[in-house]
Amino acid sequence: MTRLLIADDEPAPREQLAEALAQAWPDARIVAQAEHGADAWDQWLAHEPDACFLDIRMPGLSGIDVARRIAGRCPVVFVTAYGDHALQAFDAGAVDYLVKPLDVDRLAQTVARLKQALQRPAPSTDALQQLLAQLAGQQRRPAWPDTLQAGVGKEVRLIRIDDVVYFESDSRYTRVVYTEAGQQRDALLRTPLKDLLAQLDPARFQQVHRSIVVASAQIASALRDDEGGMALRLRGSPDVLAVSRPFQGLFKGQ
Q: What is the pLDDT of residue 138?
A: 64
Q: Where in the chain is the domain with CATH 2.40.50.1020?
A: 147-251
Q: Which long-range contacts (CB under 8 A, 24 or more apart) does 130-136 make?
A: 131/88, 131/89, 131/92, 132/64, 132/67, 132/68, 132/89, 133/68, 135/64, 135/85, 135/86, 135/88, 135/89, 136/62, 136/64, 136/65, 136/68
Q: In DSSP terms, which residues pair with 189 in a beta bridge?
A: 174
2-138 architecture in CATH?
3-Layer(aba) Sandwich (3.40)
Please report the pLDDT score of residue 250 as a whole number. Answer: 86
| Residue-averaged pLDDT of the chain | 88
Which residue intervals of the chain bear CATH 3.40.50.2300?
2-138
Confidence of residue 126 (pLDDT cuts 50, 70, 90): confident
pLDDT of residue 202: 86
pLDDT exceeds cutoff 80 at 115: yes
Cα–Cα dist 220/144, whole Å = 24
Q: Which CATH class is domain 147-251?
A: mainly beta
pLDDT at 254: 45
**Which whole number is the average pLDDT over 18-25?**
96
Residue 178 clears pLDDT 70, i.e. is over it: yes
